[in-house]
Protein backbone atom coordinates (compact mmCIF):
# COMPACT_ATOMS: atom_id res chain seq x y z
CA UNK A 1 0.00 0.00 0.00
CA UNK A 2 1.34 3.43 -0.94
CA UNK A 3 0.35 5.81 1.87
CA UNK A 4 2.58 8.72 0.87
CA UNK A 5 1.48 11.44 -1.59
CA UNK A 6 -1.24 9.10 -2.84
CA UNK A 7 -5.03 8.76 -2.84
CA UNK A 8 -4.91 6.69 0.37
CA UNK A 9 -7.17 8.24 3.04
CA UNK A 10 -6.69 7.98 6.83
CA UNK A 11 -9.80 8.73 8.91
CA UNK A 12 -9.53 10.05 12.47
CA UNK A 13 -12.52 10.06 14.82
CA UNK A 14 -12.13 13.01 17.17
CA UNK A 15 -10.63 16.36 16.32
CA UNK A 16 -9.13 17.38 19.66
CA UNK A 17 -5.53 18.06 20.63
CA UNK A 18 -4.46 14.41 20.30
CA UNK A 19 -5.69 14.34 16.72
CA UNK A 20 -4.04 17.69 16.04
CA UNK A 21 -0.69 16.34 17.26
CA UNK A 22 -1.20 13.15 15.23
CA UNK A 23 -1.54 15.39 12.18
CA UNK A 24 2.04 16.65 12.76
CA UNK A 25 3.13 13.18 11.61
CA UNK A 26 0.65 12.78 8.73
CA UNK A 27 1.67 16.17 7.33
CA UNK A 28 5.34 15.23 7.58
CA UNK A 29 4.64 12.05 5.59
CA UNK A 30 2.05 13.69 3.27
CA UNK A 31 -0.70 11.24 4.24
CA UNK A 32 -4.20 12.44 3.32
CA UNK A 33 -6.42 12.82 6.40
CA UNK A 34 -10.14 13.14 7.06
CA UNK A 35 -11.35 14.11 10.56
CA UNK A 36 -14.77 13.88 12.23
CA UNK A 37 -15.58 15.92 15.34
CA UNK A 38 -18.76 17.38 16.89
CA UNK A 39 -17.26 20.87 17.27
CA UNK A 40 -16.93 23.39 14.44
CA UNK A 41 -13.97 24.81 16.40
CA UNK A 42 -12.07 21.50 16.77
CA UNK A 43 -8.25 21.93 17.08
CA UNK A 44 -7.72 19.46 14.16
CA UNK A 45 -9.59 21.67 11.73
CA UNK A 46 -6.52 23.71 10.76
CA UNK A 47 -4.32 20.74 9.89
CA UNK A 48 -6.34 17.98 8.20
CA UNK A 49 -7.20 17.64 4.51
CA UNK A 50 -10.93 17.19 5.13
CA UNK A 51 -12.96 18.17 8.18
CA UNK A 52 -16.46 16.87 8.91
CA UNK A 53 -18.66 17.97 11.78
CA UNK A 54 -20.79 15.27 13.42
CA UNK A 55 -21.67 13.26 16.53
CA UNK A 56 -19.09 10.56 17.33
CA UNK A 57 -21.70 8.52 19.24
CA UNK A 58 -24.19 8.48 16.36
CA UNK A 59 -24.13 5.19 14.44
CA UNK A 60 -24.95 6.57 10.97
CA UNK A 61 -22.57 9.53 11.26
CA UNK A 62 -19.61 7.31 12.20
CA UNK A 63 -20.55 4.57 9.71
CA UNK A 64 -20.94 6.95 6.75
CA UNK A 65 -17.68 8.72 7.63
CA UNK A 66 -15.80 5.41 7.94
CA UNK A 67 -17.04 4.13 4.55
CA UNK A 68 -15.09 6.90 2.81
CA UNK A 69 -11.65 6.12 4.31
CA UNK A 70 -9.15 3.26 3.94
CA UNK A 71 -7.94 3.05 7.55
CA UNK A 72 -9.87 4.41 10.53
CA UNK A 73 -8.46 5.33 13.94
CA UNK A 74 -9.64 7.44 16.88
CA UNK A 75 -8.19 9.90 19.39
CA UNK A 76 -11.00 9.56 21.94
CA UNK A 77 -12.75 6.48 23.36
CA UNK A 78 -16.29 7.91 23.29
CA UNK A 79 -17.21 6.76 19.78
CA UNK A 80 -19.94 4.45 18.46
CA UNK A 81 -18.45 0.93 18.66
CA UNK A 82 -21.32 -0.73 16.76
CA UNK A 83 -20.57 1.46 13.74
CA UNK A 84 -16.85 0.58 14.01
CA UNK A 85 -17.71 -3.12 14.18
CA UNK A 86 -19.91 -2.93 11.07
CA UNK A 87 -17.17 -1.05 9.20
CA UNK A 88 -14.61 -3.69 10.18
CA UNK A 89 -16.99 -6.47 9.12
CA UNK A 90 -17.30 -4.75 5.73
CA UNK A 91 -13.54 -4.59 5.21
CA UNK A 92 -12.52 -1.16 6.53
CA UNK A 93 -9.35 -1.44 8.60
CA UNK A 94 -10.16 -0.08 12.08
CA UNK A 95 -7.24 0.29 14.52
CA UNK A 96 -7.32 -0.22 17.45
CA UNK A 97 -10.03 -2.82 16.83
CA UNK A 98 -13.66 -2.30 17.91
CA UNK A 99 -13.23 -5.34 20.19
CA UNK A 100 -10.31 -3.66 22.01
CA UNK A 101 -12.22 -0.40 22.33
CA UNK A 102 -15.37 -2.11 23.60
CA UNK A 103 -13.44 -3.76 26.44
CA UNK A 104 -11.75 -0.48 27.40
CA UNK A 105 -14.79 1.84 27.08
CA UNK A 106 -16.43 0.42 30.20
CA UNK A 107 -14.10 0.54 33.21
CA UNK A 108 -15.90 -2.36 34.88
CA UNK A 109 -15.46 -4.57 31.80
CA UNK A 110 -11.83 -3.40 31.62
CA UNK A 111 -11.19 -4.48 35.25
CA UNK A 112 -12.85 -7.87 34.69
CA UNK A 113 -10.57 -8.29 31.64
CA UNK A 114 -7.49 -7.78 33.88
CA UNK A 115 -8.83 -10.30 36.37
CA UNK A 116 -9.48 -12.88 33.63
CA UNK A 117 -6.02 -12.39 32.12
CA UNK A 118 -4.14 -12.50 35.46
CA UNK A 119 -3.04 -8.88 35.13
CA UNK A 120 -2.34 -7.37 38.57
CA UNK A 121 -4.89 -4.68 39.50
CA UNK A 122 -6.47 -3.20 42.63
CA UNK A 123 -9.39 -5.13 44.21
CA UNK A 124 -12.77 -3.80 43.05
CA UNK A 125 -16.55 -4.34 43.07
CA UNK A 126 -19.01 -3.33 40.35
CA UNK A 127 -22.46 -1.90 41.12
CA UNK A 128 -25.37 -1.37 38.73
CA UNK A 129 -26.63 1.67 40.66
CA UNK A 130 -25.82 4.07 43.48
CA UNK A 131 -28.47 2.36 45.69
CA UNK A 132 -26.62 -0.94 45.31
CA UNK A 133 -23.33 0.72 46.31
CA UNK A 134 -24.89 2.46 49.36
CA UNK A 135 -26.46 -0.85 50.42
CA UNK A 136 -23.01 -2.50 50.32
CA UNK A 137 -21.50 0.29 52.44
CA UNK A 138 -24.34 0.13 54.98
CA UNK A 139 -23.94 -3.63 55.29
CA UNK A 140 -20.13 -3.45 55.62
CA UNK A 141 -19.58 -5.36 52.37
CA UNK A 142 -17.15 -2.60 51.41
CA UNK A 143 -15.51 -0.12 53.74
CA UNK A 144 -14.73 3.57 53.43
CA UNK A 145 -12.37 5.00 52.19
CA UNK A 146 -12.43 3.75 48.59
CA UNK A 147 -12.15 5.15 45.07
CA UNK A 148 -15.49 5.54 43.24
CA UNK A 149 -15.42 5.37 39.45
CA UNK A 150 -18.22 5.73 36.96
CA UNK A 151 -17.84 2.76 34.59
CA UNK A 152 -18.55 4.92 31.54
CA UNK A 153 -17.87 8.37 30.10
CA UNK A 154 -15.24 9.46 32.62
CA UNK A 155 -12.20 11.48 31.51
CA UNK A 156 -9.50 13.72 33.04
CA UNK A 157 -10.63 13.14 36.60
CA UNK A 158 -14.34 13.36 35.76
CA UNK A 159 -16.15 10.23 36.89
CA UNK A 160 -13.56 9.52 39.62
CA UNK A 161 -13.96 10.47 43.27
CA UNK A 162 -12.29 9.43 46.51
CA UNK A 163 -15.00 8.51 49.03
CA UNK A 164 -13.75 9.37 52.54
CA UNK A 165 -17.07 9.71 54.43
CA UNK A 166 -20.65 8.39 54.17
CA UNK A 167 -21.70 11.95 53.27
CA UNK A 168 -19.50 11.80 50.14
CA UNK A 169 -21.86 9.14 48.76
CA UNK A 170 -24.67 11.73 48.58
CA UNK A 171 -22.76 13.72 45.95
CA UNK A 172 -22.52 10.80 43.49
CA UNK A 173 -24.68 10.36 40.39
CA UNK A 174 -26.95 7.31 40.09
CA UNK A 175 -24.99 5.39 37.45
CA UNK A 176 -23.29 2.02 37.00
CA UNK A 177 -20.09 2.35 39.00
CA UNK A 178 -17.13 0.66 40.61
CA UNK A 179 -15.70 0.80 44.11
CA UNK A 180 -11.97 0.24 44.04
CA UNK A 181 -9.68 -0.34 47.00
CA UNK A 182 -7.52 2.70 47.75
CA UNK A 183 -3.94 1.77 47.01
CA UNK A 184 -1.18 3.12 49.21
CA UNK A 185 1.31 3.78 46.43
CA UNK A 186 4.82 5.19 46.17
CA UNK A 187 4.42 6.26 42.56
CA UNK A 188 1.95 6.50 39.71
CA UNK A 189 3.71 5.25 36.59
CA UNK A 190 2.82 4.81 32.93
CA UNK A 191 4.27 2.87 30.03
CA UNK A 192 3.37 3.44 26.41
CA UNK A 193 3.42 0.30 24.27
CA UNK A 194 3.40 0.49 20.47
CA UNK A 195 2.26 -2.52 18.46
CA UNK A 196 1.86 -2.58 14.69
CA UNK A 197 -0.50 -4.68 12.57
CA UNK A 198 2.14 -7.41 12.16
CA UNK A 199 2.62 -7.65 15.93
CA UNK A 200 5.97 -5.84 16.22
CA UNK A 201 6.07 -4.32 19.72
CA UNK A 202 8.13 -1.64 21.47
CA UNK A 203 7.82 0.07 24.83
CA UNK A 204 8.72 3.64 25.71
CA UNK A 205 10.63 4.33 28.94
CA UNK A 206 8.58 4.26 32.16
CA UNK A 207 7.30 7.71 33.11
CA UNK A 208 6.29 9.00 36.52
CA UNK A 209 3.15 11.08 36.99
CA UNK A 210 2.56 13.73 39.61
CA UNK A 211 -1.12 14.53 40.10
CA UNK A 212 -3.02 17.64 41.13
CA UNK A 213 -4.47 16.82 44.58
CA UNK A 214 -7.95 18.26 43.88
CA UNK A 215 -8.54 18.01 40.14
CA UNK A 216 -7.27 14.42 39.86
CA UNK A 217 -5.39 15.50 36.73
CA UNK A 218 -1.74 14.93 35.88
CA UNK A 219 0.34 18.05 36.61
CA UNK A 220 3.77 16.70 35.67
CA UNK A 221 4.91 13.72 33.59
CA UNK A 222 8.57 12.89 34.25
CA UNK A 223 10.70 10.80 31.89
CA UNK A 224 12.66 8.82 32.90
CA UNK A 225 10.76 7.90 36.07
CA UNK A 226 12.90 8.29 39.19
CA UNK A 227 12.70 4.60 40.12
CA UNK A 228 15.18 1.71 40.46
CA UNK A 229 15.94 -0.29 37.32
CA UNK A 230 14.24 -3.44 38.60
CA UNK A 231 10.96 -1.50 39.06
CA UNK A 232 11.32 -0.10 35.51
CA UNK A 233 11.77 -3.63 34.15
CA UNK A 234 8.79 -4.89 36.15
CA UNK A 235 6.56 -2.07 34.88
CA UNK A 236 7.56 -2.63 31.24
CA UNK A 237 6.92 -6.37 31.63
CA UNK A 238 3.40 -5.77 33.00
CA UNK A 239 2.70 -3.24 30.19
CA UNK A 240 3.73 -5.83 27.56
CA UNK A 241 1.51 -8.43 29.28
CA UNK A 242 -1.45 -6.00 28.98
CA UNK A 243 -0.67 -5.30 25.32
CA UNK A 244 -0.45 -9.03 24.53
CA UNK A 245 -3.78 -9.66 26.27
CA UNK A 246 -5.54 -6.95 24.24
CA UNK A 247 -3.71 -7.79 20.99
CA UNK A 248 -4.19 -4.10 20.23
CA UNK A 249 -2.82 -2.18 17.24
CA UNK A 250 -1.49 1.35 17.69
CA UNK A 251 -0.45 3.06 20.90
CA UNK A 252 -1.60 1.69 24.27
CA UNK A 253 -0.92 3.81 27.36
CA UNK A 254 -0.84 1.65 30.50
CA UNK A 255 -1.24 3.56 33.78
CA UNK A 256 -0.01 1.80 36.92
CA UNK A 257 0.59 2.08 40.64
CA UNK A 258 3.88 1.14 42.29
CA UNK A 259 2.78 0.01 45.77
CA UNK A 260 4.73 0.48 49.00
CA UNK A 261 6.05 -3.08 48.68
CA UNK A 262 6.96 -2.51 45.00
CA UNK A 263 4.13 -4.43 43.38
CA UNK A 264 2.97 -3.08 40.02
CA UNK A 265 -0.82 -2.80 39.69
CA UNK A 266 -2.54 -1.72 36.46
CA UNK A 267 -4.93 1.20 37.03
CA UNK A 268 -6.36 1.71 33.53
CA UNK A 269 -5.37 1.94 29.88
CA UNK A 270 -6.02 4.23 26.91
CA UNK A 271 -5.89 2.79 23.35
CA UNK A 272 -4.54 5.99 21.75
CA UNK A 273 -1.82 8.62 22.17
CA UNK A 274 -1.92 9.79 25.76
CA UNK A 275 -1.03 12.66 28.07
CA UNK A 276 1.78 10.55 29.56
CA UNK A 277 3.51 10.46 26.15
CA UNK A 278 3.43 14.16 25.20
CA UNK A 279 7.02 14.63 26.42
CA UNK A 280 8.07 12.42 23.49
CA UNK A 281 7.55 15.18 20.88
CA UNK A 282 10.70 16.94 22.11
CA UNK A 283 12.50 14.20 24.08
CA UNK A 284 12.20 10.98 22.01
CA UNK A 285 13.63 9.75 18.73
CA UNK A 286 10.09 8.83 17.61
CA UNK A 287 7.22 10.65 19.29
CA UNK A 288 4.07 8.75 20.27
CA UNK A 289 1.93 10.36 17.55
CA UNK A 290 4.22 9.35 14.70
CA UNK A 291 4.51 5.91 16.31
CA UNK A 292 0.71 5.52 16.37
CA UNK A 293 0.55 6.35 12.65
CA UNK A 294 3.40 3.92 11.90
CA UNK A 295 1.68 1.17 13.92
CA UNK A 296 -1.81 1.44 12.37
CA UNK A 297 -0.35 1.57 8.84
CA UNK A 298 1.87 -1.45 9.58
CA UNK A 299 5.05 0.53 8.97
CA UNK A 300 8.24 -0.35 10.90
CA UNK A 301 8.11 1.06 14.44
CA UNK A 302 10.54 3.87 15.26
CA UNK A 303 13.11 4.02 18.03
CA UNK A 304 11.43 4.65 21.42
CA UNK A 305 14.44 5.73 23.47
CA UNK A 306 14.75 9.31 24.73
CA UNK A 307 17.43 11.70 23.48
CA UNK A 308 17.24 13.70 26.73
CA UNK A 309 15.20 13.74 29.92
CA UNK A 310 11.77 15.26 29.36
CA UNK A 311 9.12 16.68 31.66
CA UNK A 312 5.64 17.71 30.62
CA UNK A 313 3.52 20.26 32.45
CA UNK A 314 -0.20 20.39 31.64
CA UNK A 315 -1.64 23.84 30.97
CA UNK A 316 -5.14 23.84 32.40
CA UNK A 317 -7.66 26.62 32.82
CA UNK A 318 -7.22 28.58 36.07
CA UNK A 319 -9.98 28.43 38.67
CA UNK A 320 -12.39 31.34 38.48
CA UNK A 321 -11.81 31.85 34.74
CA UNK A 322 -14.33 30.97 32.03
CA UNK A 323 -14.40 32.53 28.58
CA UNK A 324 -11.98 33.66 25.84
CA UNK A 325 -8.53 32.34 26.70
CA UNK A 326 -5.39 34.36 27.43
CA UNK A 327 -1.99 32.71 28.07
CA UNK A 328 -0.45 35.03 30.65
CA UNK A 329 3.40 35.16 30.80
CA UNK A 330 3.91 32.74 27.90
CA UNK A 331 6.81 34.93 26.65
CA UNK A 332 8.52 34.54 30.04
CA UNK A 333 8.50 30.75 29.92
CA UNK A 334 9.77 30.84 26.33
CA UNK A 335 12.91 32.58 27.62
CA UNK A 336 13.70 29.55 29.78
CA UNK A 337 16.13 26.99 28.40
CA UNK A 338 14.67 23.80 26.92
CA UNK A 339 11.05 24.99 27.21
CA UNK A 340 8.51 24.42 24.41
CA UNK A 341 4.82 25.34 24.79
CA UNK A 342 2.12 23.49 22.85
CA UNK A 343 -1.17 25.39 22.59
CA UNK A 344 -4.09 23.18 21.59
CA UNK A 345 -6.24 25.81 19.89
CA UNK A 346 -9.26 25.75 22.20
CA UNK A 347 -10.61 29.30 22.19
CA UNK A 348 -12.62 28.96 25.43
CA UNK A 349 -11.09 28.25 28.82
CA UNK A 350 -12.79 26.95 31.96
CA UNK A 351 -11.40 25.70 35.30
CA UNK A 352 -9.12 22.65 34.86
CA UNK A 353 -9.82 22.33 31.10
CA UNK A 354 -6.72 21.04 29.26
CA UNK A 355 -5.65 23.96 27.06
CA UNK A 356 -2.07 22.98 26.23
CA UNK A 357 1.11 21.57 27.66
CA UNK A 358 4.73 22.61 28.05
CA UNK A 359 7.70 20.30 27.55
CA UNK A 360 10.97 20.89 29.39
CA UNK A 361 14.03 18.99 28.14
CA UNK A 362 17.41 18.74 29.84
CA UNK A 363 20.27 16.24 30.11
CA UNK A 364 19.52 16.14 33.85
CA UNK A 365 16.01 15.14 35.00
CA UNK A 366 16.40 16.98 38.35
CA UNK A 367 17.28 20.22 36.57
CA UNK A 368 14.31 19.74 34.20
CA UNK A 369 11.99 19.21 37.20
CA UNK A 370 13.14 22.53 38.72
CA UNK A 371 12.42 24.39 35.48
CA UNK A 372 9.05 22.61 35.26
CA UNK A 373 8.07 24.00 38.68
CA UNK A 374 9.12 27.47 37.55
CA UNK A 375 7.03 27.10 34.36
CA UNK A 376 4.03 26.00 36.43
CA UNK A 377 4.32 29.06 38.70
CA UNK A 378 4.87 31.51 35.83
CA UNK A 379 2.30 30.75 33.15
CA UNK A 380 -1.43 31.23 33.78
CA UNK A 381 -4.34 30.17 31.59
CA UNK A 382 -6.95 32.87 32.24
CA UNK A 383 -9.89 34.49 30.49
CA UNK A 384 -10.13 38.02 29.08
- Residues marked as binding for ATP? 107, 149, 180-183, 188, 267-268
The percent of the chain in helix, strand and coil, each rounded to the nearest 5, is 30, 30, 40
Cα 276 vs. chain centroid, distance in angstroms?
Answer: 7
Please state, in angstroms and rounded to a whole number, the distance separating the CA atoms of residues 110 and 271. 12
3 contacts 33 by C-beta, under 8 angstroms? no
8-state DSSP, 306:
B
Burial of 377 (0-12, 13-18, 19+ CB in 10 A): exposed
What would the 3-class secondary structure string for 52-111 be? EECCCCCHHHHHHHHCCCCEEEECCCCCCHHHHHHHHHCCCEECCCHHHHHHHHCHHHHH
Q: How far apart are the first and last CA of the chain?
A: 49
Beta strands 71-74 and 93-94: pairing type?
A: parallel
Please state, in angstroms and rounded to a whole number, the distance separating the CA atoms of residues 146 and 137. 10
58 contacts 82 by C-beta, under 8 angstroms? no
324 contacts 348 by C-beta, under 8 angstroms? yes
Please state, in angstroms and rounded to a whole number, the distance separating the CA atoms of residues 202 and 21. 20
Positive or negative: CA dihedral 191, 192, 197, 202: negative
Q: What is the DSSP string of 108-162?
A: HHHHHHHHHTT--B--EEEESSHHHHHHHHHTTSS-SSEEEEESSS-BTTBTEEE
10 contacts 26 by C-beta, under 8 angstroms? yes
Q: Helix 98-105 and helix 107-116: axis angle, to 10°?
A: 110
Amino acid sequence: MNYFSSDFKLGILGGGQLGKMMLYATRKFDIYTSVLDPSAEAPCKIACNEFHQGDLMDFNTVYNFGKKVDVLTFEIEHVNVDALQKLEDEGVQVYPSPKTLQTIQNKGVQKLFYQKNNIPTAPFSIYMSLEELIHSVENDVISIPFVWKSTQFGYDGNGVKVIRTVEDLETLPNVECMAEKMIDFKNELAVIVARNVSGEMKTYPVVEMEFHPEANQVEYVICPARIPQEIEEKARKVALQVSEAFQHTGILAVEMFQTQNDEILVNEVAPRPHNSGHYSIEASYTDQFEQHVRAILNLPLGKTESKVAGIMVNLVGAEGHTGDVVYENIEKIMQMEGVTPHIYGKKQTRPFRKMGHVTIVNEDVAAARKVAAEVKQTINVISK
